[in-house]
Structure 1
Amino acid sequence: MQIYLIQTYAPQVADSFHGQDMLLALATLELNPQLIFQGDALLQIRAGNDQERHGKSLQKRYGLLALFDAPEPWVFAEDLVAMELTVDDLVIDVVVKSADEVNELLAKSSKVLRF
């Protein structure tokens, strides 16, 4: 069973942290969800764009994923182009996928969480 967790909000939005909390909780339970950054959520991992809430760094907490053997997050190639970013502009390692490829996988899954 693959769980997909899609982050869609810009880093300034509180739901960014809510999605991250869910992601880390699932990873702690060894469910290892596949994280996907979509649209403005890509800014959550852009270098120099960290946000803090209640003393917690959004970007530093994404670094915790490596401790849980979670799969590398996916980003849409189209979003990178639209935002004029490359993977070198991001603070964590990611896998670049096309929107069509990801949407095909999501259509087959009943475990999709959006934040």
Structure 2
Amino acid sequence: MTTFIVQTHPPAAIDSWHGQDMLLALATLELNPQLVLLGDAVAHLRHNHDVSRQQRSLQKRYALLDLYDCPPPVVVAEELSKLGITAADFVCEVAVMSYHQLSQQLLQSTKVIRF
């Protein structure tokens, strides 16, 4: 069963960094967590929206997910449309799905952690 890490805060928020820490911890345990970016968190992986904290880049740390064979982060099509952006506006591959598709996946999981 997949563990979902749902990020909802903008990149500069401390909760974003805590969520990323949890995501990377699960990835190192080979649990292949699924990152979901909603609302303000969509900016986490957008070009020219990187944030640094204690000389660490949020986006460079997300790049570590590739090393652990984690699935691409999920973004919601309706939010992309509202913001006028596409999957090409992100620094890495993202999976685009509808709110309905995402809710169906979340319903099948017993592990959803929100930051």
* TM-score range normalised by the length of the shorter chain: over 0.9
Q: What is the CA distance between 1:108 and its match in structure 2?
A: 2.6
Does residue 48 of structure 1 match 2:48?
Answer: yes
Mapped to 2, the partners of 1:105 and 1:67 lie a distance apart of 24
Q: Distance in 1 between the 2:68 and 2:108 partners? A: 25
How many Å apart are 1:46 and its aligned residue? 0.8
Runs of 4+ in structure 1 deviating by more than 3 angstroms, as ranges, are: none
In the aligned structure 1, how far is the partner of 2:105 from the partner of 2:66? 23
Q: Which amino acid letter does the alignment assign opposite residue 51 of structure 1?
A: V
Deviation at 1:105, TM superposition (A): 1.6
Q: 1:59-112 CA deviation, whole Å, 9 max, x = no partner?
A: 111111100011111110011111111111111110100011101221232100
| Correspondence 1:1-115 to 2 at 5 A | 1-115=1-115
Identity across the alignment (%): 50
Q: What displacement does 1:9 show?
A: 0.6
In the superposition, the TM-score normalised over structure 2's length comes to 0.96
Give, in whole Å, the separation in 2 of the partners of 1:113 and 1:107.
13
Between the two proteins, the alignment pairs up a number of residues equal to: 115
| TM-score relative to the length of structure 1 | 0.96
In structure 2, what is the Cα distance between the partners aligned to 1:92 and 1:42? 12
- Separation in 2 of the partners of 1:105 and 1:99? 10
Structure 1 unaligned spans of 5+: none
